[in-house]
Each structure stands twice: as structure tokens, then as C-alpha cells.
Structure 1
């Protein structure tokens, strides 16, 4: 057991606006939600920090910096946590949006921290909180994208957050396996190192908007896993494979795709060769952008109400 005096003091007040997107299962919309939530709030004028605590580094695909000069594949994040020094975000990835880049170096953090802080499990779990707290007050909002199926990295992210949001697909496996797994990590972190961590809600992600029976089934399964269904957000982010492909191939957030779709080439421009099909952005981006914007408002409203209660 790690004594309290071996852990650097952490200003939990500075982390009060820190949100983590978490699920024990991959492919449920975590990174898409983290990137778009952060991007929407930043586009609305708030100062936002997005932290990619994932060895896949897919935040870089969403924001279009993958394999660019700023993509260090998580090396700066790895070194900050190893040394216990403040994070050094990349500034201006979007207006008002700074990013702590993730990638393959993040995947080695559990082994690095275990070697650096031998027999100090609490210090290992709090490594991100220690490095984030000194800079968090610079931002109105901090969003963390966490790794699936990697408990040590999940614990790092959860230990630094005030609010957890769990996106999930509507199928039974995603809810039972994904929510069940992250619920166990949530309880462990809350009990051992971060008692202020709260589950803000569960988001049904990538579901058909008219699938009423599917939504009823999902609500029932969420209640089985969490004991009640009140955690579900009202907003459902609808499914669009075309939007998902366009977002990462163009390196744009969904509300940015919506703007780009308005400038899609005309049919004759395609026929005459003045434009190519590769420049076309799915018109479905407008409906998905609306879902994400509505969800962002619901998240911030619920958090404010919870704080005021």
C-alpha cells in the first residue's frame, strides 16, 4: 500500500471539468465522441484540451494530424508521466483546441510506470492526474479518450477525471461486456484513488434513429448492468458508415464535414473531370452533426445540474 505522503498533491479542483470517454470494449464510438465533443465545445469558443490515452492514436485520424510533424505517437505523454512533469500539449490543433497526442508509446506506459514506481500501485494509477492538474486550469474543459481492453490505461484516465461518459453500441455484447468491464474499473478507481469520480451517463452510439424496440432492449440491458436506466442520455447518435469513413479519410470532425458537404461538387463537375468522387462528403453528416451537438449540450447541462445538486 502506498502511503499518502508518497503521492504528490493533486489539485482536484483543477480537474473538476475533466471528462473521460470510457468503455471496456473497442469500436463503440469512444474516440469519435471524445474528438467531436472536444471539437464542438472549442468551436463554441471555450478553451479545450483533448488527451489521447490510447495506443492506437485515432484522435490523430479524427483531427487530421496522423503522421504529420506534430504526431510523436505519444512520446511526449509517455515521458511526462514517466518523469512526473506537467503535460505539454500541442497548441492550436483547432481554434481553442489543444491536444496531448497519443499513439504507440502510450501502449508501453503500464510497463514503464510499473518499473518506475515499483510496488506503488496508487502512484502508478495517479500518474496522469499528477501531470494534468498543474495545467488543467488553463482550460475550460478537458476531455480524455481512454483505451479499450487495457485496465492499466483505463485506470490512468479514470483517476484523472471528474466525469465518466460511456458510449456503447446497442447490442447485448457491447453493453454486457463493455459496460460491465469499465464499471469494474470505475468502482476500483473510485474506491482506491479518485472518490470524486462520477458516472455522468451512457450514450447509445451508432444506432438507427427509428429502432424503438432495439432502444428499449438496450435500455433494459443497461439497467441490468448498472442497476438503473436513468444514466442513459436522451440523445442517440445515429449510425452512418459513410460519415465515419469520410471523417477519418478527410481528417475532419463531423460538424466540419457538414460544412464541407455544402460545397460538394455538382454532377456536371464530376462528369467533366473538374472534380472527382473523392471530394464528395456524405450529406448524412448534417444529421450526425446535429446528434453530436445535441449530445454535447446534454452532457454539459447534466454535469452542471449534478454539480448544483
Structure 2
């Protein structure tokens, strides 16, 4: 049985396309025959909305899973429209979980423990995507101790790299103390507006900073991508022929075909050279 690729979608900035990226990569990969699980760790529950699973307050969810009240099988729901897609939803109850987790044993490993005690082996997933909240708290730490790969969506707009240095610092810290296998396997450029010089400049800057870890496919700014969750769908289902739909299908194919990007030794443990890391952290 193949080992699943465990991927955290992370960026502490809001509005950069984390959830959109998680659900659309998941949907595209599931449509191509992969068995995919989305874990929603954002109390807003937008990933749960996009894949059209129940996530009203009280629904078995990632909240109860992290507290140890239920197991992963009890929390998981099948997508009503995509045969190979499954979701562990988030409810508004999750908003308080970081406070409740503070006194728990192995508080940084609650998600890891829930998934690695037979659940992943039992279900044979090819991919697990973890959608994080726009913060670097215990929920995001749980995602990063559980996963091996991090994909960072970066929007092609002003202040695109603002705060990225802090995220890299957290990834380094987690590698040193909690999960030595964690690394950046992809940077995905999102919200690209080809009509502006700014978008091209930002894309060039991100490629200069991160190099080969940046995915070749770029996600354009797209009305269809924004509309889809309102219908309880990913853009892959809502309008696959739209520019956004095409872009996410292509990005998912690229992610699948190139496999896990493992950084070269000279670029450091997270795929960024020490010089660039220092510049981003400044």
C-alpha cells in the first residue's frame, strides 16, 4: 500500500487562497482517480462548505477529533458529489479548541495521533490536504506535526511576501523540535491578474526568492473560483472549463507528476537559501 502524501496548506496571511487551493487541488486529484481526504482545521469551515459536507455546530468534526472525543472514522464524511473525495469538517466549535488543548497531553500531536493509529492505513488515501486557519497557533502546529509537506499559496498582489519569513521561521522551529520531516514542497502563485505589471513583478520576485520549489502553473484571479463555494462546489465541479478550473487541474497534475519536491542540500531544510531566509525574515 502506498504511503499517502500528507500536505499542509499554510500561510498566516488571510485571503491568499489557502482554502481555495486545498479544496480544488483535492477535487482535481480525486477526479483523476486518487483517493483524497481534506481535513478542515479552520473554524470558519470554508473548506467544508466548498466540498458540501455537513458542518453545523455539533456535527462530528475536527474539533471533537482533536479533543479525543471521537475517532477519525466518526468525523469523516464522503463528498456527496465526488466519489474519491472525503472530508473531516470544521465547525464553529473549533474556535475555542486551542484554549481547550493547552492542558492536553501531546497537544502538538493531537491530529498526528488521531490519523496514525490505523486510520490512514485502513483507508489507503493517496493524498491528505490539511487546510489551516490564517494564524500560527496550535491548530497550524498540529497540521505541521502531522504532515511532511507544506504548500504555501502566495497571492500576486501588494505585500505578497509580507509575513512569509515568520512562516519559514515556524517551519524551521517545528522541524527542529517536533517534525524533522517537514519541508516546503511547493509555492503556488494565486490571484494572478495578467492585465497588471504588478502581478508579473510579484511572480518574478517569488520565483527569485524560492526558486524551483515554485509550481510552474499559476492560478489566475477568477470570478468562477470565487462563486463556486456559494453553490457548495469546488470550481472543478462548478465550471471546470473556466480559467480557474483549468489552472487548478493543471496545478494538481503538476503536483502529482513531479512528486514531493525535496529541496537541495544547499538551499537549507526548507528549500530556501540562508541568504534569502534572512532577507524574508527581516
Where on the TM-score scale, by shorter chain, does this alignment land: which range? 0.7 to 0.9
Q: Distance in 1 between matches of 2:129 and 2:35?
A: 11
1:59 to 32, 47, 52: 47
Count how many residue pairs are aligned between Structure 1 and Structure 2.
Answer: 258
**Contact 2:11–2:134 under 8 Å retained in 1:** yes
- Do residues 251 (structure 1) and 205 (structure 2) align? no
Partner of 1:215: 200
**1:222–1:125 CA distance, 2 compared to 1 (3 A):** farther
Deviates more, 1:27-36 or 1:180-189: 180-189
- Do residues 40 (structure 1) and 28 (structure 2) align? yes
Give 1:1-309 correspondences, 5 Å limit: 16-65=4-53, 68=54, 71-72=56-57, 75-83=60-68, 86-88=71-73, 89-93=76-80, 94-117=82-105, 123-133=106-116, 134-137=118-121, 138=123, 139-177=125-163, 179-209=164-194, 211=196, 214-221=199-206, 223-224=208-209, 228-240=210-222, 242-258=223-239, 286-304=242-260, 306=262
What's the CA shift for 1:305?
A: 6.1
SS in 2 for 1:115: coil
Q: Could you state the TM-score of these two structures normalised by the residue count of structure 1?
A: 0.75
Larger Rg: 1
SS in 2 for 1:54: coil
**Contact 2:190–2:221 under 8 Å retained in 1:** yes
Return 5+ residue gaps in structure 2 as ranges: 266-282
Q: Distance in 2 between matches of 1:180 and 1:16?
A: 28
Q: Could you state the TM-score of these two structures normalised by the residue count of structure 2?
A: 0.82
Return 5+ residue gaps in structure 1 as ranges: 1-12, 118-122, 260-284
What's the CA shift for 1:92?
A: 3.8
CA-to-partner distance for each residue in 1:216-262, whole Å, 9 max, x for gaps? 334325645xxx4322111110001x213420221111121226xxx
Q: Distance in 1 between matches of 2:134 and 2:261?
A: 29
**1:152–1:98 CA distance, 2 compared to 1 (3 A):** same
Q: CA RMSD in A?
A: 2.6
Q: Distance in 1 between matches of 2:69 and 2:104?
A: 10
What's the CA shift for 1:207?
A: 0.7
Q: Distance in 2 between matches of 1:64 and 1:298?
A: 26
Q: Distance in 2 between matches of 1:230 and 1:253?
A: 28
**1:305–1:155 CA distance, 2 compared to 1 (3 A):** closer
CA-to-partner distance for each residue in 1:53-107, whole Å, 9 max, x for gaps? 1111001221234xx4x54467532222212763121124431111100122222
